[in-house]
Amino acid sequence: MEIEIVKIKPLPKNSTMIIGLPDIGLVGAISSSFLIKAFNMKEAAFLDSPNFPPILVFHDTKPKAPVRLHANSDKIVLISEIPILPGQFTPLAKKILSLTEELEARNIIMIGGIPAPNRIEIKKPKVYGAAILEKDKEKLKQAGIELFKNGFIAGIYASILKECIKKKCSAIILLAESYANYPDPGAAAAALEALGKLLGITINVDPLLQQEEEIRLKLRELMQRTVNSLKASSKEYEYAVPLMYA
């Protein structure tokens, strides 16, 4: 499946690529949307494919593709307002890696959720970090983020990480404890705070927490479509323990 990146304006080189896509608790999608608004990041490109659903999104009367890249001088954020289907995982991962190579991106940071069965009892979700390169694991430790030691990562993020392993490139994923099937702005806020520590910047998540219930209601439909997609993408493995540690 061919995926095309249609550039609207130049994308910054030597930047950090932040990826937040619909996943467990919509943690990544909520985080991407918040970052774009918080840092006033403008649309720089969109992704298109014959196999993407025939959908346009309107924002302030302007038609937008649902899968877009927003940027400022040193950060690029990939956002999707539709679920990424299993058949699109590998082509999208390859396209992302191709773009990061072209732009000589410093690193890739993904934001997602990890299902926590007792989430209702958790006041502030814990955030785990996983990385490919030892230097990135050290960065996580220095930022006070606990390493994800044992378990499975499935879905689009697993596909991106696989491509990063092949290319031996810098990639980190932040995983916040989250509701599995409900939009979780609280988990997104925890992930964004961890991102701020990792990048050495301040991300004020108060507006996100203040609108928590409103966001949950607005994103119910996207969550339901995402749940249907997750069922077909081996996400149930994230509840399991790897065989060698059983």
Q: What is the structure's pLDDT at 1?
A: 56
Range with the poorest average pLDDT among 39-53, 79-93, 114-128, 222-236: 222-236
* Inter-CA distances, 100 with 19, 72, 109, 226, Å: 12, 15, 12, 26
40: left (phi over 0), alpha (psi -120 to 50) or beta: left
- The model's pLDDT over 177-217, given as tens digits with 9 standing for 90+, comes to 999 888 999 999 999 999 999 999 999 999 999 888 888 77
- The model's pLDDT over 53-64, given as tens digits with 9 standing for 90+, comes to 898 999 889 999
**Ordered domains of the chain (ranges, CATH):** 4-245 (3.40.50.10900)
H or E segment to which residue 35 belongs:
helix 27-38
- Residue range 63-73: mean pLDDT, rounded: 96
Does pLDDT of 237 surpass 70?
Answer: no
Of the candidates 79, 109, 86, the one whose C-alpha atom is nearest the C-alpha of residue 18 is 109
Which phi and psi angles does 186 have, rounded to 5°? -65, -40
d(CA 194, CA 179): 18
Q: At what angle do helices 185-199 and 27-38 cross, to 10 degrees?
A: 60
d(CA 145, CA 36): 23
The residue ranking higher by pLDDT, 2 or 147, is 147
- The model's pLDDT over 18-27, given as tens digits with 9 standing for 90+, comes to 999 999 999 9
* Inter-CA distances, 14 with 105, 107, 117, Å: 4, 9, 39
d(CA 132, CA 47): 26
- Burial label, 134 (beta-carbon count in 10 A; 0-12, 13-18, 19+): exposed
Of the candidates 62, 20, 37, 69, the one whose C-alpha atom is nearest the C-alpha of residue 222 is 20
Average pLDDT, the chain: 91
* Inter-CA distances, 50 with 35, 63, 193, Å: 28, 18, 37
- The model's pLDDT over 133-178, given as tens digits with 9 standing for 90+, comes to 999 999 999 999 999 999 989 999 999 999 999 999 999 999 999 9
Q: Which residue has the tokens 């990939």?
A: 78
Q: What is the structure's pLDDT at 224?
A: 81
